[in-house]
Amino acid sequence: MTDQLRLMAVHAHPDDESSKGAATMAKYVSEGVDVLVVTCTGGERGSILNPKLQGDAFIEANIHEVRKKEMDEAREILGIRQEWLGYVDSGLPEGDPLPPLPEGCFGLADVDEAAGRLVRSIRSFRPQVITTYDENGGYPHPDHIMTHKISMVAFEGATDAEKYPEDEFGPVWQPVKLYYNQGFNRPRTVALHEALLSRGMESPYGEWLKRWDEFGRDERTLTTYVPCGDFFEIRDKALIAHATQIDPDGGWFRIPLDLQREIWPTEEYELAKALVTTSLPESDLFAGVRDNA
Protein backbone atom coordinates (compact mmCIF):
# COMPACT_ATOMS: atom_id res chain seq x y z
CA MET A 1 0.00 0.00 0.00
CA THR A 2 0.99 3.60 -0.42
CA ASP A 3 0.55 6.46 2.05
CA GLN A 4 -2.53 7.74 0.20
CA LEU A 5 -5.84 6.38 1.46
CA ARG A 6 -8.34 5.74 -1.30
CA LEU A 7 -12.07 5.00 -1.10
CA MET A 8 -14.17 3.75 -4.01
CA ALA A 9 -17.97 3.93 -3.84
CA VAL A 10 -19.82 1.87 -6.45
CA HIS A 11 -23.33 3.12 -7.24
CA ALA A 12 -26.07 2.23 -9.68
CA HIS A 13 -27.32 5.66 -10.81
CA PRO A 14 -26.40 9.34 -10.61
CA ASP A 15 -27.93 10.60 -7.32
CA ASP A 16 -27.27 7.34 -5.44
CA GLU A 17 -23.89 8.66 -4.32
CA SER A 18 -25.59 11.69 -2.76
CA SER A 19 -28.30 9.76 -0.91
CA LYS A 20 -26.06 6.93 0.33
CA GLY A 21 -22.85 7.78 2.14
CA ALA A 22 -22.37 11.32 0.85
CA ALA A 23 -21.50 12.81 4.24
CA THR A 24 -19.01 10.01 4.80
CA MET A 25 -17.30 10.77 1.50
CA ALA A 26 -17.20 14.51 2.21
CA LYS A 27 -15.66 13.80 5.61
CA TYR A 28 -12.92 11.66 4.11
CA VAL A 29 -12.25 14.20 1.36
CA SER A 30 -11.73 16.83 4.09
CA GLU A 31 -9.11 14.53 5.63
CA GLY A 32 -7.19 14.14 2.37
CA VAL A 33 -8.57 10.76 1.35
CA ASP A 34 -8.90 10.28 -2.42
CA VAL A 35 -12.52 9.31 -3.16
CA LEU A 36 -13.83 7.91 -6.44
CA VAL A 37 -17.48 7.20 -7.24
CA VAL A 38 -18.09 4.67 -10.01
CA THR A 39 -21.59 5.15 -11.45
CA CYS A 40 -22.76 2.05 -13.29
CA THR A 41 -25.53 3.62 -15.42
CA GLY A 42 -26.55 7.00 -16.75
CA GLY A 43 -29.94 6.97 -15.07
CA GLU A 44 -31.63 7.24 -18.47
CA ARG A 45 -34.82 5.47 -17.41
CA GLY A 46 -35.21 7.19 -14.08
CA SER A 47 -38.46 9.02 -13.47
CA ILE A 48 -38.53 12.78 -12.90
CA LEU A 49 -39.38 12.75 -9.21
CA ASN A 50 -39.28 16.49 -8.53
CA PRO A 51 -42.87 17.68 -9.07
CA LYS A 52 -41.59 21.13 -10.05
CA LEU A 53 -39.85 19.64 -13.11
CA GLN A 54 -42.40 17.05 -14.15
CA GLY A 55 -43.80 17.68 -17.61
CA ASP A 56 -40.73 19.63 -18.76
CA ALA A 57 -40.40 18.52 -22.40
CA PHE A 58 -36.72 19.48 -22.68
CA ILE A 59 -35.73 17.49 -19.61
CA GLU A 60 -37.76 14.49 -20.70
CA ALA A 61 -36.13 14.56 -24.15
CA ASN A 62 -32.62 15.02 -22.79
CA ILE A 63 -32.74 13.16 -19.49
CA HIS A 64 -29.36 11.47 -20.00
CA GLU A 65 -27.50 14.76 -20.51
CA VAL A 66 -29.47 16.47 -17.74
CA ARG A 67 -28.58 13.78 -15.25
CA LYS A 68 -24.94 13.88 -16.35
CA LYS A 69 -24.82 17.62 -15.60
CA GLU A 70 -26.48 17.01 -12.24
CA MET A 71 -23.79 14.44 -11.46
CA ASP A 72 -21.08 16.92 -12.43
CA GLU A 73 -22.48 19.46 -9.97
CA ALA A 74 -22.82 16.93 -7.17
CA ARG A 75 -19.27 15.72 -7.77
CA GLU A 76 -17.93 19.25 -7.36
CA ILE A 77 -19.93 19.77 -4.16
CA LEU A 78 -18.62 16.56 -2.62
CA GLY A 79 -15.05 17.10 -3.80
CA ILE A 80 -14.82 13.60 -5.24
CA ARG A 81 -13.74 12.02 -8.48
CA GLN A 82 -16.38 10.22 -10.53
CA GLU A 83 -16.44 7.96 -13.56
CA TRP A 84 -19.11 6.12 -15.55
CA LEU A 85 -19.10 2.37 -16.02
CA GLY A 86 -21.04 2.91 -19.25
CA TYR A 87 -24.25 0.88 -18.86
CA VAL A 88 -27.84 1.88 -19.62
CA ASP A 89 -30.36 2.19 -16.79
CA SER A 90 -32.74 -0.78 -16.52
CA GLY A 91 -35.64 1.20 -15.13
CA LEU A 92 -37.73 -0.12 -12.24
CA PRO A 93 -40.18 -2.74 -13.55
CA GLU A 94 -43.68 -2.39 -12.11
CA GLY A 95 -46.82 -4.46 -12.42
CA ASP A 96 -48.01 -8.00 -11.78
CA PRO A 97 -46.53 -9.93 -13.42
CA LEU A 98 -43.44 -7.78 -13.74
CA PRO A 99 -42.54 -6.90 -17.33
CA PRO A 100 -39.20 -8.08 -18.76
CA LEU A 101 -36.23 -5.76 -18.52
CA PRO A 102 -35.40 -3.77 -21.66
CA GLU A 103 -32.81 -5.28 -23.98
CA GLY A 104 -29.29 -3.99 -23.52
CA CYS A 105 -29.84 -2.64 -19.99
CA PHE A 106 -27.47 -3.02 -17.05
CA GLY A 107 -29.72 -5.50 -15.28
CA LEU A 108 -29.24 -7.96 -18.16
CA ALA A 109 -25.50 -7.44 -18.57
CA ASP A 110 -23.08 -10.35 -18.36
CA VAL A 111 -21.85 -10.24 -14.76
CA ASP A 112 -18.24 -11.19 -15.53
CA GLU A 113 -18.00 -8.69 -18.39
CA ALA A 114 -19.47 -5.87 -16.29
CA ALA A 115 -17.26 -6.84 -13.36
CA GLY A 116 -14.29 -6.63 -15.74
CA ARG A 117 -15.03 -2.96 -16.33
CA LEU A 118 -15.08 -2.42 -12.58
CA VAL A 119 -11.88 -4.44 -12.19
CA ARG A 120 -10.22 -2.05 -14.61
CA SER A 121 -11.32 0.90 -12.45
CA ILE A 122 -10.18 -0.80 -9.24
CA ARG A 123 -6.74 -1.62 -10.63
CA SER A 124 -6.34 1.91 -11.95
CA PHE A 125 -7.53 3.72 -8.80
CA ARG A 126 -6.18 1.15 -6.28
CA PRO A 127 -8.64 1.67 -3.42
CA GLN A 128 -8.05 0.03 -0.09
CA VAL A 129 -11.79 0.27 0.71
CA ILE A 130 -14.85 -0.21 -1.50
CA THR A 131 -18.50 0.47 -0.66
CA THR A 132 -21.43 -1.03 -2.56
CA TYR A 133 -24.92 -2.49 -1.97
CA ASP A 134 -25.98 -5.70 -0.25
CA GLU A 135 -27.45 -8.68 -2.08
CA ASN A 136 -30.90 -7.06 -2.01
CA GLY A 137 -29.55 -3.88 -3.55
CA GLY A 138 -30.67 -1.88 -0.52
CA TYR A 139 -34.01 -2.14 -2.28
CA PRO A 140 -34.78 -4.54 -5.13
CA HIS A 141 -34.02 -2.36 -8.14
CA PRO A 142 -32.40 -4.53 -10.84
CA ASP A 143 -29.52 -2.06 -11.24
CA HIS A 144 -28.81 -2.07 -7.51
CA ILE A 145 -28.79 -5.85 -7.41
CA MET A 146 -26.48 -5.99 -10.43
CA THR A 147 -24.22 -3.42 -8.76
CA HIS A 148 -23.88 -5.81 -5.82
CA LYS A 149 -23.13 -8.76 -8.08
CA ILE A 150 -20.38 -7.09 -10.07
CA SER A 151 -18.84 -5.50 -6.97
CA MET A 152 -18.43 -8.89 -5.34
CA VAL A 153 -16.89 -10.41 -8.47
CA ALA A 154 -14.63 -7.41 -9.03
CA PHE A 155 -13.38 -7.37 -5.42
CA GLU A 156 -11.99 -10.85 -5.98
CA GLY A 157 -11.22 -10.38 -9.67
CA ALA A 158 -8.99 -7.36 -9.07
CA THR A 159 -6.28 -9.81 -7.96
CA ASP A 160 -7.02 -12.51 -10.54
CA ALA A 161 -4.61 -12.02 -13.43
CA GLU A 162 -5.81 -15.20 -15.10
CA LYS A 163 -9.46 -14.19 -15.33
CA TYR A 164 -8.69 -10.51 -15.94
CA PRO A 165 -5.24 -10.35 -17.64
CA GLU A 166 -2.98 -7.48 -16.70
CA ASP A 167 -2.26 -6.49 -20.29
CA GLU A 168 -5.97 -5.70 -20.73
CA PHE A 169 -7.14 -4.71 -17.25
CA GLY A 170 -3.99 -3.29 -15.65
CA PRO A 171 -1.71 -4.52 -12.84
CA VAL A 172 -3.48 -6.50 -10.15
CA TRP A 173 -4.52 -4.73 -6.96
CA GLN A 174 -5.89 -6.07 -3.67
CA PRO A 175 -8.62 -4.00 -1.98
CA VAL A 176 -8.75 -5.06 1.66
CA LYS A 177 -12.21 -4.05 2.87
CA LEU A 178 -15.66 -4.06 1.29
CA TYR A 179 -18.77 -2.56 2.86
CA TYR A 180 -22.49 -2.48 2.15
CA ASN A 181 -24.22 0.89 2.48
CA GLN A 182 -26.83 0.59 5.24
CA GLY A 183 -27.79 4.20 5.86
CA PHE A 184 -31.49 3.39 5.52
CA ASN A 185 -31.74 1.28 8.65
CA ARG A 186 -34.53 0.80 11.15
CA PRO A 187 -32.68 1.97 14.32
CA ARG A 188 -31.86 5.32 12.71
CA THR A 189 -35.36 5.74 11.33
CA VAL A 190 -37.02 4.92 14.66
CA ALA A 191 -34.68 7.23 16.59
CA LEU A 192 -35.38 10.21 14.35
CA HIS A 193 -39.11 9.44 14.20
CA GLU A 194 -39.42 9.32 17.98
CA ALA A 195 -37.27 12.42 18.45
CA LEU A 196 -39.50 14.42 16.13
CA LEU A 197 -42.71 13.29 17.82
CA SER A 198 -41.32 13.97 21.30
CA ARG A 199 -40.68 17.56 20.24
CA GLY A 200 -44.18 17.98 18.87
CA MET A 201 -42.95 17.96 15.28
CA GLU A 202 -44.35 16.11 12.30
CA SER A 203 -42.37 13.03 11.25
CA PRO A 204 -42.05 11.89 7.63
CA TYR A 205 -41.16 8.39 8.86
CA GLY A 206 -44.49 7.10 10.13
CA GLU A 207 -45.51 5.60 6.79
CA TRP A 208 -41.97 4.35 6.18
CA LEU A 209 -42.09 2.35 9.41
CA LYS A 210 -45.52 0.92 8.63
CA ARG A 211 -44.30 -0.22 5.22
CA TRP A 212 -41.15 -1.61 6.80
CA ASP A 213 -43.30 -3.95 8.85
CA GLU A 214 -45.62 -4.76 5.95
CA PHE A 215 -42.78 -5.79 3.67
CA GLY A 216 -41.02 -7.75 6.38
CA ARG A 217 -37.68 -6.19 5.55
CA ASP A 218 -34.81 -8.10 7.13
CA GLU A 219 -32.68 -6.30 9.67
CA ARG A 220 -29.06 -5.95 8.61
CA THR A 221 -25.98 -6.12 10.81
CA LEU A 222 -24.62 -2.61 11.31
CA THR A 223 -20.91 -2.87 11.96
CA THR A 224 -19.58 0.60 11.23
CA TYR A 225 -20.85 4.01 12.30
CA VAL A 226 -18.95 6.87 10.67
CA PRO A 227 -19.32 10.20 12.53
CA CYS A 228 -20.04 12.75 9.82
CA GLY A 229 -22.68 15.15 11.17
CA ASP A 230 -20.52 18.16 10.30
CA PHE A 231 -20.95 17.23 6.64
CA PHE A 232 -24.73 16.84 6.50
CA GLU A 233 -25.09 20.23 4.76
CA ILE A 234 -22.73 19.12 2.00
CA ARG A 235 -24.68 15.87 1.68
CA ASP A 236 -27.94 17.79 1.26
CA LYS A 237 -26.45 20.23 -1.26
CA ALA A 238 -25.15 17.35 -3.34
CA LEU A 239 -28.54 15.64 -3.27
CA ILE A 240 -30.35 18.84 -4.25
CA ALA A 241 -27.97 19.12 -7.22
CA HIS A 242 -29.82 16.10 -8.65
CA ALA A 243 -32.77 18.37 -9.30
CA THR A 244 -34.78 15.87 -11.38
CA GLN A 245 -34.62 13.31 -8.59
CA ILE A 246 -35.36 15.24 -5.42
CA ASP A 247 -37.87 17.83 -4.26
CA PRO A 248 -35.99 20.39 -2.14
CA ASP A 249 -39.23 20.96 -0.21
CA GLY A 250 -39.85 17.23 0.30
CA GLY A 251 -39.52 14.90 3.25
CA TRP A 252 -35.77 14.41 2.81
CA PHE A 253 -35.17 17.90 4.15
CA ARG A 254 -37.85 18.28 6.84
CA ILE A 255 -35.67 17.17 9.73
CA PRO A 256 -33.54 20.00 11.17
CA LEU A 257 -29.86 19.31 10.77
CA ASP A 258 -29.17 20.17 14.41
CA LEU A 259 -31.64 17.50 15.47
CA GLN A 260 -30.04 14.97 13.11
CA ARG A 261 -26.63 15.74 14.57
CA GLU A 262 -27.96 15.37 18.11
CA ILE A 263 -29.91 12.15 17.58
CA TRP A 264 -28.03 10.31 14.82
CA PRO A 265 -24.78 11.96 13.64
CA THR A 266 -23.41 8.95 11.77
CA GLU A 267 -23.76 7.03 8.52
CA GLU A 268 -23.87 3.26 8.78
CA TYR A 269 -22.25 0.38 6.94
CA GLU A 270 -22.09 -3.40 7.07
CA LEU A 271 -18.61 -4.89 6.78
CA ALA A 272 -18.87 -7.65 4.17
CA LYS A 273 -15.21 -8.51 3.55
CA ALA A 274 -12.04 -7.69 5.46
CA LEU A 275 -8.49 -8.80 4.75
CA VAL A 276 -7.12 -6.75 7.63
CA THR A 277 -7.69 -7.11 11.36
CA THR A 278 -10.36 -4.87 12.83
CA SER A 279 -12.68 -4.91 15.84
CA LEU A 280 -16.40 -4.25 15.71
CA PRO A 281 -18.16 -1.93 15.94
CA GLU A 282 -16.03 0.49 13.94
CA SER A 283 -16.16 4.24 13.50
CA ASP A 284 -13.84 4.36 10.49
CA LEU A 285 -14.02 2.60 7.12
CA PHE A 286 -10.21 2.55 7.20
CA ALA A 287 -9.97 0.83 10.60
CA GLY A 288 -7.20 -1.73 10.29
CA VAL A 289 -5.96 -0.07 7.10
CA ARG A 290 -4.37 3.14 8.37
CA ASP A 291 -1.65 1.36 10.35
CA ASN A 292 -0.59 -0.49 7.21
CA ALA A 293 -0.89 2.38 4.76
Q: Please tell me the predicted confidence (pLDDT) of residue 138.
A: 86
* Pair 131, 275 in one domain: yes
* Pair 190, 273 in one domain: no
* Pair 208, 93 in one domain: no
* Pair 130, 51 in one domain: yes
Q: Would you say residue 130 lies in a domain?
A: yes
Q: Which residues are annotated as a binding site for Zn(2+)?
A: 13, 16, 144
Q: Please tell me the predicted confidence (pLDDT) of residue 293.
A: 59
Q: Which residues are annotated as a binding site?
A: 13, 16, 144
Reported for 134-137, long-range contacts at CB under 8 A and 24+ positions apart, including other chains, are: 134/180, 134/181, 134/182, 134/220, 134/270, 134/272, 136/218, 137/12
* Pair 37, 93 in one domain: yes
* Pair 77, 203 in one domain: no
Buried b / exposed e along 82-93 (16+ C-beta atoms within 10 A): beebebbbbbbe
Q: Would you say residue 283 lies in a domain?
A: yes
Q: Would you say residue 275 lies in a domain?
A: yes
Q: Would you say residue 208 lies in a domain?
A: yes
Q: Would you say residue 105 lies in a domain?
A: yes
* Pair 114, 136 in one domain: yes
User: What is the phi/psi pair of residue 178, to 5°?
Assistant: -135, 130
* Pair 262, 173 in one domain: yes
Q: Please tell me the predicted confidence (pLDDT) of residue 254.
A: 87
Q: How many domains does the chain have?
A: 2
* Pair 70, 197 in one domain: no
Q: Would you say residue 1 lies in a domain?
A: no
Cα(183)–Cα(170) distance, integer angstroms: 33
In tens digits, the chain (293 residues) has pLDDT values of: 447 999 999 999 999 999 999 999 999 999 999 999 999 999 999 989 999 999 999 999 999 999 999 999 999 999 999 999 999 999 999 888 889 999 999 999 999 999 999 999 999 999 999 999 999 998 889 999 999 999 999 999 999 999 999 999 999 999 999 999 999 999 999 999 999 999 999 999 998 888 887 665 678 999 999 999 999 999 999 999 999 999 988 888 889 999 999 999 999 999 999 999 999 999 999 999 997 75
* Pair 49, 142 in one domain: yes
* Pair 287, 192 in one domain: no
Residue 199, domain extent: 186-219
Q: Would you say residue 81 lies in a domain?
A: yes
In terms of phi and psi (left: phi > 0; alpha: psi -120 to 50; beta: otherwise), the region of 265 is alpha
The residue from 176, 201, 219 where one domain ends is 219
Domain of 29, CATH number, reads 3.40.50.10320
Give the pairing type, strands 81-87 and 34-41. parallel
The residue from 170, 203, 219 where one domain ends is 219
The residue from 165, 197, 219 where one domain ends is 219
* Pair 106, 197 in one domain: no
